[in-house]
Every structure is written in structure tokens, then in C-alpha cells.
Chains A and B, each alone.
Chain A
Amino acid sequence: MEAKHALRIVLDSVPARIWFKDDKNGIIKLNKAAADSMGGSIIDFEGKNTFDLFGEMAQKYLIDDLKVINSGVPALGIIEEYTPENGETGWVSSDKIPLISPEGEKQLLVVTTDITDAMRKEKELEEINKNLQQFAAMASHDLKAPLRHILNGADIVSLEHSEELSEEIKTYIEETRQHAHKLRDIIDSFLEFARAIPGETNHVSFDAVSILHDVISDKSLEIRLSKASIIIPKEPIWVKADPALISRVFENIVDNAIKYACPMRPLKLKIMSKKRAGTNTAIIFDDNGVGISESQQEHVFDLFARSKKAKEISGSGIGLATCRRILVMCNGEIKLKSKKSNGSRFVVELNSGKAV
């Protein structure tokens, strides 16, 4: 088979739209998918100038093309909106690769994939997430108000009528208060989980050790009261993620270590870091707490998962589900290794960052 004919078959068989262009906005060659997208056949466009086809838009194409042609550096994954004549607006992802022809002329290979469906789904998902966040905020507000009234009512009765109340009634009031606090924790965690939705992340390089110091400092009272000791690395750990979100992950892990400390011994939590192969950094949290049995480990990151031992410990079972969700948003991962009665090891893997 003649090479030229074989190339034509290959070009017309792929779903991507392919153009070969010169440095004056002229279309040298294109495939069938490209011609279809422009509403014609190959012969309608080959040898034509983009200025004749797209009017004003062509000037923008030329500027973009010349940037790549003159720099000699390919531009990959450019996402652009387009509106074909008599067509609906869509989105394409394009790769522009500079070429030199055998005659020494500067040319450009443009490979474009239609991503309209994916973009529409992404926009729909953004809208759903936005609605979910609004719903969570409203639900949280509407649930918190009656809860606040229950707690305030219990406090006022205890304060103003303490002498008239029997010990039994006082116990009931105290239990009411405890249950209301538990419910408030659940609502707060639910809201935190609902707020951990992709979309507004701010990925920068930062020192995870400095965030750990802030988290530990916020919990200094609980740490002192429980006689816990927490060892933080002395050297900075540079990672790339959203620092505000990662701070919430660290807070959850430290909270869990304190909550699930072994009653027989004070908590020892050692935090270390390890460079992984490739571009990842692992931050490891080793504790000597009650541990988690193997059967429970696979569910620990599920929503509303709680330790069976946790009946008397405050918490909602949402914290680790939130952590996992945040790590996905930060292109990271959270893993658990644990042995019952022998402590837990949480490993947070993140992209390595640059020292700033």
C-alpha cells in the first residue's frame, strides 16, 4: 500500500481531530473527524485559510499557533470553548506541536479531542456539589438552633432551680445535656464532611511540620490532661496540597489518637516522614492506642464508621471519611495499618513540595 494512502486511512480512522497548519493560518491537511467538526468534507478545507473559514476567531487561532511555532515548544492540553457555525457551544482539548517540513517550513500539528460531554458532566457535578453544600449549611443551621435551645434551657433550669431539683432530675438534665452535645458533634462533623467538596482547593508547597505544630498547640490542654506525648519531626516536611484542608486531616488523626488511647498507658504518638519512590512524601502517625481489628480496618474510612469500643467516647464517625475525601481532593491518599491492642499507623501520602 502506498505510504500516503496508508497515512490517510490512519488519519481518518482516529476519533481525534487532526490538522496540519502552516504559519499563516493555512490548513495544509486535515482528517475526516476535523472536517466533520467544521461541517464539511476534507476537500472543502484542505488548502484553505482559516481566516476565510472562521472570520475574527481566526486571528486568535493564529496568535496561539505562532506562539507554539516560534517557541518550538509544544502546548499540550489546552482547553478551549468553541461554537461551530449553526452549532451548539462545546469544549475541546488541544495539543499543538511545532514541526519543520522536509522543505524547512515551519508548520503546526494540532490534535483536538472533543471534551464537551465531560465538561458538561463536570459543570453538572459542580452545580450538584454547590447545591449539596447549600443544603448542608441550611440543614446544619436548622438543626443547630433547636439543639442550642435544649442546651440553654437545661443550663438555665440547672442554674435557676438547682435547689428545688432532686438528684434524679439533676441526672436527667445532665444526660440531656450530654446527648445534645453528642448530637452537636455529629452535626458539626456532617457539615465538615459536606464542605469537603472538590472545587476550591488551593494547592501550594508548604511545611507540614509547621501545620502539625499549630494542630498540637490547639490541643495542648487535652494533651496535657491525658499525659500524652507527641513527637514531631524537627526537619521540615515539604508537601504540595491545600494547607487548610491538610490541617483538618492532621487534626482528625491527632483527635482520634487522643480519643482512642489505651486506658492502661498514656498516649505516645510519633510522627515521621518518608520520601516515597517518585514524587510522593509519606507522613506517618504511629500511636500506641487501642488499635483497630482487621475486620474493622476496611470500614474505618466509611461514613459513620466508629469503633465498637467508642460508645463512651464522643465522636461522629465522620472524621476519617472526611480525611479520605480531603486526600482525594489533594491528590493524596490515606492508609491505615493497625493491630488490635497494639496501636495504629495512619499514613498520609501527598505530592512532595518545594522548600519555600
Chain B
Amino acid sequence: MAAVSLLSSTLGRLCSTMKKILIIDDDEYDRRTIKYALKKQGDNYEFYEANNGKQGCKMAKDITPDITLLDLRMPLMDGFQTLACIRNSAACKQTKIFIFTGSDDEDEYNTALKNGANDFITKPSNLAGYQDIASSLDDELNS
């Protein structure tokens, strides 16, 4: 019984340290690449994916992720609408939302931060860039 109890407590501890990451992006390749880079940081992530803003917001309310990576240009509901949708949810008050987009537009950056995004990340053009971002997100989750 003692062994079972120890196993259960270890599993419980592991589960509680698993971090939920929701990636909302209509670009499958970008979702796959950031997931690849994050997996290289460790195995304590649970990944959830949505390929449009509407699905993403619903998922965010259901799973209350620790971090949401949010693309801007998406079908059904764009990134700004999705940002507002998640920020208006009481369940997601603690969720950190990072805009993750191909854009480097200053106006979009300012709008995103003004509307509750924690940061604005322009998608890098090579894997090293994705790995840097994954490392920063890992630090963010463990700080």
C-alpha cells in the first residue's frame, strides 16, 4: 500500500507541474515548429491546439491554459477578437497570452498590449529563433 501511495503522490506532483500550453494558429506548420522547440525544453508540457480563434477561445475557457500562443490573422475570429474573448473569461484571468504572429507591425503591437496581451512575438525565420522563444517561454512558466 505504501508503494502505491508513493506512486500516486509522485504522479500527483508530476501532474500538478505539467503546464498547459494552448496554441491558436491556423498555420499547422507553425504550430508544429513551436511545439517541437518547446518539447526540446523538457517534457512537462501539455499541448492543446486550435486552428481558428473561435475554437481557440472555447478551448481556453475549458482548459484554462498557463500560456496561450495566439496568431493574429485567422479565419472565423481573428487574433484581436480572440484576445478579447479570452480576456473576458473569468476562468482565464491567470492565463498569459502571447501574440505569436508573422507581423512586425508597430500598430498591431501597441493594440495587442493595450488589449491585454502579455507580449508580442514576431515569428522568427529559422529554428534557432523558435528555440530562443521556447527557452524564454520555459523561463516564464518556471518563474
Mutual binders A and B: yes
Binding site for B on A (CB under 8 A): 137, 141, 144-145, 147-149, 151-153, 155-156, 159, 184
Which residue on B lies nearest to A151, using beta carbons?
A: B126
Additional A-B contacts beyond A145-B29, A153-B29 (16; CB < 8 A): A137-B103, A141-B103, A144-B102, A147-B125, A148-B29, A148-B30, A148-B102, A148-B123, A149-B29, A151-B126, A151-B127, A155-B126, A155-B127, A156-B33, A156-B127, A184-B125
Q: How far is the CA of A159 from the CA of B33 in the complex (A)?
A: 13
- Report chain A residues within 8 Å CB of B103: 137, 141
* Residues of A contacting B124 in the complex (Cβ-Cβ under 8 angstroms): 148
Q: Does B36 contact A (CB under 8 A)?
A: yes
Interface 1/0s, chain B 111-131, versus A by CB < 8 A?
Answer: 000000000000111111010
Beta-carbon contacts of B35-56 to A below 8 Å, as 1s and 0s? 0100000000000000000000
On chain B, the residues within 8 Å of A145 by CB distance are 27, 29-30, 102
**Number of residue pairs across A and B with beta carbons under 8 Å?**
38
Q: How far is the CB of B78 from chain A (nearest CB, A)?
A: 13
Q: With A145-B27, A145-B30 as known contacts, state yes or no: A151 contacts B125, CB within 8 Å.
A: yes
Q: Which residue on B lies nearest to A137, using beta carbons?
A: B105
A152 in contact with B27 (CB, 8 Å): no
Mark out the residues of chain B between 6 and 46 whose CB falls within 8 Å of any chain A CB in the assembled complex: 27, 29-30, 33, 36
Q: What residues of chain B lie closer than 8 Å to A141, measured between beta carbons?
A: 73, 102-103
**B102–A152 CB distance below 8 A:** no
State how many angstroms separate the Cβ of A256 from the closest Cβ of chain B.
23
Task: Report whether A155 and B128 are in contact in the complex, using a CB–CB cutoff of 8 Å.
Answer: yes
Which of B73, B105, B130 interacts with A152 by CB under 8 Å? B130
20 contacts between A and B (CB under 8 A): A137-B103, A137-B105, A141-B73, A144-B125, A148-B29, A148-B102, A148-B123, A148-B124, A148-B125, A149-B30, A151-B125, A151-B126, A151-B127, A152-B126, A152-B127, A152-B130, A155-B128, A156-B33, A156-B127, A184-B125
Contacts of B126 in A (CB 8 A): 151-152, 155
Q: Which of chain B's residues have a CB closer than 8 A to the CB of A153? A: 29
Q: List A contacts of B102 (CB < 8 A).
A: 141, 144-145, 148
Q: Which residue of chain B has its CB nearest to the CB of A140?
A: B102
Q: Do the beta carbons of B73 and A159 come within 8 Å of each other? A: no
1/0 contact string of B68-92 vs chain A (CB within 8 Å): 0000010000000000000000000
Tell me the bound Cα distance from A147 to B130 in angstroms.
14
Nearest-neighbour CB distance to chain A for B116, whole angstroms, equals 23
Distance A152 CA – B131 CA, assembled complex (angstroms): 11
Could you tell me the distance between the alpha carbons of A144 and B29 in the complex, rounded to whole angstroms? 13
C-alpha gap A31/B109 in the complex (Å): 56
